[in-house]
Amino acid sequence: MSPSVPLQEMIRAIRSARTQCEERGVIQRECAAIRAQFRNTDNEGRSHNLAKLLYVHMLGYPAHFGQMECVRMIASPRYSDKRVGYLGAMMLLDEKQDASLLITNSIKNDLSHSNQYVQSLALCTLACMGSAEMCRDLAPEIDRLLRSSNSYIKKKAALCAVHIVRKVRELGELFVPSARSLLSEKNHGVLHGAVVLITQLCEQSPETLERFRKTVPDLVQIMKGLVISGYSPDHDVAGVSDPFLQVRILRLLRILGRHNEAASDAMNDLLAQVATNTDSTKTVGNAVLYETVLTVLDIKSESGLRVLAVNILGRFLLNNDRNIRYIAMTSLQKIVVTDHIAVQRHRGTIVDCLKDQDASVKRRALELSLALVSASNIRSTMKELLIFLSSCPPELRAHAASGIFNAAERYAPSQRWHIDTILHVLTTAGADVRDETVPNLIQLITNTSELHCYTVHKLYRALLTDISQQPLVQVACWCIGEYGDLLLKGECQETEAVQVTEDDVLDALEIVLQSHMSTPTTRGFALTATMKLSTRIIDNVDRIRSVVSIYGSCIDVELQQRAVEYNALFKKYDHMRAAVLERMPVIQKNSVGQTNGEVGEETVKESQAAKVAQKEMALPPQPAGQVCDLLDLLGGSQEPLQPSSSLGGAASTQPTTAGGDLLDLLGGLEPTPPTPAPAVTVYEKNGVTLTISCEQQSDSGLTVTLTASNSSDSDISGFTLQAAVPKSVQLQMRAPSRDSLPANGAAKLTQLVILNNPNKVNLKMRIRVSYTSQGSAVQDMVQVDSFPGIGAAGL
């Protein structure tokens, strides 16, 4: 072993550089020297130069100019050159470089070299960076080497074959026979290589897997030999005989036994033996046990064996070694769904691991604990989870909080416990909970009417202590607004009541409103709560009024809008304030997890108030639009009654264009009088009879039904009615049921007239009748001065 002095000198020089800049200088000089030396082909120290370059490359500097040198070195007959050349090839050349193809020939030659160490270099390089073309070229060569008698070469050829099969799947077929025969080797290295090769072939092709299932008995034999046999100095690691080979065989057995009863049966005994006999005091033994457990849980093993496996995992959980606890939890996590009962037995240990110092162990313990929560252990588990929440790392808080909420929702033993739990979470981890927590909690509180007093007291106390946790503050404000009267009453069954005055409550809300820690949403909650209290308290309504008016000029648009609307509620619509601000009804939940607009309930109230205000303002203009000075128009001339007919026409076009059953449409639209009102005949001529009947709808509303019939012998067509009423009365004519009257009273015609008489003037109506009978048009007019069904005193 001769150290390459120039190389070491260079390394020393580089390391003694004090700054990055100095180092770069040294390296640049060296690289220049190396490049010069590369050009000089006749140089015995070539390998040292390349080694220097490789060192420079490892420091992160570019070294691609060494690629051709690698190719040259590999082709050199000297072993030292080849060694460094192949090393350079593995470091600098990868399949993406063109130069890599140039070494294919060298590799091919070296694979048949007389010296096994040269062969080994070629095999190693091929297995490391062989491209698909190279693999295809050299696969037959590798297969030949798999059959050689030299175990040193055989084991390397096996791993080379693994690489080839990974790169070119179709070549797998080529290696199947050799792989099979290698299993009978005694040499551990070769055996290991064979197992890896078979594993790779089985993973890639299900048909190959089927064929290799026959090897299960052989594998079981080999394992048994390893486990039971005595101390073998060559392969012993801390009392376990060749753990690397054992683990590989177990992994292959796993693949072969998966989904296959027969194969799983064949390995049952062996697995039980390994599980019980392996020494678990050292990591090595635990590595083998771990692989055994994974295999047992993955194949179709019998239940006794599965319980044994889960128990091993349980033992791992108690191990002092953190790594072993970690992998135990990872494995338990994978099987918690399928083997739930078996895992439940270790729940206590898992929950204890929540206190572990390692963050990954904590994370897994949290997930497992949440998966293991059930109705029977909810109280104890939740206690632990809440303790965990107060001390858990920040990245786990959100996950823990949402997990706790889910568990609480599913398994809460009582409403009060549920509310307590949620409040606890909000106080400890309020900043990390999800957005829908607030409406969900509010909905939960409204549903638990018997606990309103208790809840509002608790929340008020929480609000006094800390106003930084926004979700908590929002819920507290909402509750105080809703149930402030309960708070002020001062007595409570469930908890010790606090004597609170109205000023205290308003103070608390004002602090929230003014605090810089409150988000705009929270301030919105607080403002609305203050407003709601105006109906629930007695003395300090003025104070509320002033608060609300101050915020009318707030910069935040949302707050400003609210304040202005509340102001309006105080001023103009004070009579509605009590109704608008009364207790909310129980909120119906549409579906789990859906925010069904509770957050928007605040704005719903505003829009209600706004809508109400709008309606009142809209009403006054309406009568003005609908006034028809009919009587004046009618009084002087014979002008057709345009307004009313147009109104009637407008109303009538819709149903007529719809076609079909006018009667049904009208019947649905009009409020038909339940009892037939008395009908009065107002017109009778030429067989045409017109009767009217009235029904009072409201204080000023009246519905008049006009009925026409034809008792003559000839049909009447084009029958229309027009009506006029005094100035202040509003009139609306609905479409007639028909426009013709068949002879001899075969069918009647009805038409509804809606009247509105707000000023309560004396009601009169003039009706014009026009129709066509026997080819000639007839027009007539009748005045109605009194309406049946209405008192003489008038509307």
Which residues in 62-91 contact another protein (CB under 8 A)?
Answer: 78-80, 83-84, 87
Name the minimum Å distance from CB 509 to another protein.
44
User: Which of 8, 707 has the CB closer to another protein?
Assistant: 8
Query: Which of the stretches 243-251, 394-402, 702-710, 768-776 binds another protein when contact is defined by CB under 8 A?
Result: 243-251
Query: Which of the stretches 247-255, 426-434, 613-621, 767-775 binds another protein when contact is defined by CB under 8 A?
Result: 247-255
Out of 21, 39, 40, 96, name the contact with another protein by CB under 8 A.
96
Give the footprint of another protein on residues 186-215 (CB under 8 A). 188-189, 192-193, 196
Q: Please name the residue that has the structure tokens 């006029």.
A: 724
**Burial 463-499, CB ≥16 within 10 A → b, else e:** beeebebbbbbbbbbbbbbbbbbbbbeeebeeeebee
Name the minimum Å distance from CB 78 to another protein.
6
654: Cα separation from own chain's centroid: 49
**Whole-number Å distance between alpha carbons of 241 and 237:** 6
Name the minimum Å distance from CB 86 to another protein.
9
User: Which of 211, 322 has the CB closer to another protein?
Assistant: 322
Give the footprint of another protein on residues 307-336 (CB under 8 A). 322-327
Query: Which of the stretches 231-239, 478-486, 683-691, 779-787 binds another protein when contact is defined by CB under 8 A?
Result: 231-239
Contact between 577 and another protein by CB under 8 A: the answer reads no
Contact between 537 and another protein by CB under 8 A: the answer reads no
**Residue at 246: amino acid letter:** Q
Contact between 704 and another protein by CB under 8 A: the answer reads no
Size of the site for another protein (CB under 8 A): 76
Classify 357 in phi/psi space as left (phi over 0), alpha (psi -120 to 50) or beta.
Answer: alpha
**Whole-number Å distance between alpha carbons of 190 and 207:** 24
Contact between 5 and another protein by CB under 8 A: the answer reads yes
Burial of 522 (0-12, 13-18, 19+ CB in 10 A): buried
Q: Please name the residue that has the structure tokens 């028909």.
A: 738
Cα separations in angstroms, 451 against 143, 455, 477, 647: 80, 6, 17, 58
**Burial 168-195, CB ≥16 within 10 A → b, else e:** beebbebbbebbbebbebeebbbbbbbb
Tokens of 570: 């105080």
Q: Is 621 helix (H, G, I), strand (E, B) or coil?
A: helix
Name the minimum Å distance from CB 342 to another protein.
22
User: Which of 61, 573 has the CB closer to another protein?
Assistant: 61
Name the minimum Å distance from CB 559 to another protein.
44
Give the footprint of another protein on residues 107-136 (CB under 8 A). 115, 117, 120, 123-124, 127-129, 131
Count helices and strands in the chain by DSSP H and E runs: 38, 10
Query: Which of the stretches 10-18, 551-559, 600-608, 705-713 binds another protein when contact is defined by CB under 8 A?
Result: 10-18
Name the minimum Å distance from CB 359 to another protein.
7
Torsion of CA 146, 147, 151, 157, to 10 degrees: -10
Q: How many CB atoms lie within 10 A of CB 58?
A: 10
Give the footprint of another protein on residues 404-443 (CB under 8 A). none
Query: Which of the stretches 185-193, 378-386, 534-542, 680-688 binds another protein when contact is defined by CB under 8 A?
Result: 185-193
Whether the Cβ atoms of residue 22 and residue 67 lie closer than 8 Å to each other: no
Contact between 18 and another protein by CB under 8 A: the answer reads no
User: Which of 325, 536 has the CB closer to another protein?
Assistant: 325
Out of 24, 108, 251, 577, name the contact with another protein by CB under 8 A.
251
User: Which of 142, 563 has the CB closer to another protein?
Assistant: 142
Enter the DSSP assignment of 168: -
User: Which of 250, 704 has the CB closer to another protein?
Assistant: 250
Torsion of CA 728, 707, 682, 763, to 10 degrees: -20
Out of 28, 29, 32, 94, name the contact with another protein by CB under 8 A.
94
Contact between 700 and another protein by CB under 8 A: the answer reads no
Give the footprint of another protein on residues 478-497 (CB under 8 A). none
Strand partners, 755: 702, 731
Name the minimum Å distance from CB 452 to another protein.
47
Out of 30, 141, 185, 242, name the contact with another protein by CB under 8 A.
242
Tokens of 418: 């549920």
Name the minimum Å distance from CB 170 to another protein.
19
Give the footprint of another protein on residues 141-170 (CB under 8 A). 152, 155-156, 159-160, 162-163
500 Cβ contact partners less than 8 Å away, ≥ 6 residues apart: 460, 487, 488, 490
**Whole-number Å distance between alpha carbons of 500 and 383:** 31
Contact between 26 and another protein by CB under 8 A: the answer reads no
Whether the Cβ atoms of residue 329 and residue 353 lie closer than 8 Å to each other: yes
**Whole-number Å distance between alpha carbons of 670 and 647:** 16
Give the footprint of another protein on residues 32-61 (CB under 8 A). 44-45, 48, 51, 54-55, 58-60
Name the minimum Å distance from CB 373 to another protein.
25
Enter the DSSP assignment of 741: B
The closest of 291, 296, 349 to 325, measured between CA atoms, is: 349
Give the footprint of another protein on residues 602-631 (CB under 8 A). none
Give the footprint of another protein on residues 355-384 (CB under 8 A). 357-361
Q: How far apart are the first and last CA of the chain?
A: 125
Give the footprint of another protein on residues 712-741 (CB under 8 A). none
Name the minimum Å distance from CB 47 to another protein.
9
Name the minimum Å distance from CB 3 to another protein.
7
User: Which of 104, 535 has the CB closer to another protein?
Assistant: 104
Name the minimum Å distance from CB 22 to another protein.
16
User: Which of 32, 359 has the CB closer to another protein?
Assistant: 359
Tokens of 671: 């409020």
**Whole-number Å distance between alpha carbons of 283 and 238:** 9
Residue window 272-291: x/- pattern of binding to another protein, with contact defined by CB under 8 A: -----------xx-xx--xx
326: Cα separation from own chain's centroid: 28
Helices (H), 490-556: 502-514, 520-533, 541-550
